[in-house]
Amino acid sequence: MSQSDSEHSNQDVSEEIEDISAEQEVQIQKNQSDKGVCYLPRIPPFMNPNNLRKLLTDHVKKQRRKSGGNHKTKYVEGWVEFAKKQEAKLCALALNGTQIGGKKRHNLFYDDMWTIKYLPKFKWQNLTEKLAYDQKVREQRLKAQSNQAKKEINFYMDKVDLKKKLDKMEEKKTQRLEKINQKVDVESDGDDDQNDNAGGELPHEKKKKKNMMKIMKYNQRKRREFKQREPVLE
């Protein structure tokens, strides 16, 4: 076989594969458009997806089913995909508002009622997209809450540090004032002793004189510490 013949045969095979894949894609799209989805806003207590599939098997042919919730809690809502739209419509019309029934023995759902609704123009892909969108929104909400919590914690820690600094400054100020008062007391006591030795005075006169001396010395010290301001030019 020549090289040109092999190239033609390979080209023919690739064209056939492309035709088959195109036909398969069209068939898949047609099958998807033929399917229908029903919504169950209420799931009976203790019913799981396997129970739902088993109960609906006798009525129509299903493709997929999805129930909300998890294994630890009861399912709240669910969706069922049917192979054909007509089957989904008939199932919703026939079962909605009717008793689940079946064999009464060992059947927890015998007395429960079907609550099922057909969703026109709704596909299983819409459900998966919605669930993915809800998951993304939930993650963004959790991220925003986490960032807000971090901001609040940082704000609180900054306030705690500021309070510690202010308390330390206040403590130093108090210690400085105590030292000043002790110094004033020592000086006043020395002067009082000298005055007591100078002449005999009555106790209340000594106390009064002692207090007056403290006040005068304190005022003198304040005057010495006072800084003269620059003259204001008119």
Interatomic CA distance for residues 183 and 179, integer angstroms: 6
Paired with 119 in beta bridges are 37
25 versus 117: the higher-pLDDT residue is: 117
Q: Exposed/middle/buried for 122, CB within 10 Å: 0-12, 13-18, 19+?
A: middle
Residue 97 φ/ψ region, left for φ over 0, alpha for ψ in the -120 to 50 degree band, beta for the rest: left
Which DSSP category does 121 fall into? T
Q: Which residue has the higher pLDDT, 166 or 55?
A: 166
* Average pLDDT estimate for 90-97: 86
Neighbour count for residue 55 (Cβ, 10 Å): 18
Weakest-pLDDT range from 44-48, 137-141, 195-199, 202-206? 195-199
State the pTM of this model: 0.42
Residue 86 near residue 100, CB atoms below 8 Å: no
- Residues 190-205: pLDDT tens digits? 555 555 555 555 666 7
Q: Is the pLDDT of residue 20 over 60?
A: no
What is the average pLDDT across 31-35?
Answer: 73
Question: Taking residues 95-124, what's their average pLDDT?
Answer: 82
Note the pLDDT of residue 4.
Answer: 54
Q: Provide the 3-class DSSP secondary structure of residue 196.
A: helix
Where residue 13 falls among pLDDT bands split at 50, 70, 90? very low
pLDDT at 223: 56
Query: pLDDT per residue over 57-92, tens digit each?
Result: 766 655 555 555 445 556 778 888 888 888 888 888
**Domains of the chain with bracketed CATH:** 35-122 (3.30.70.330), 167-224 (no CATH)
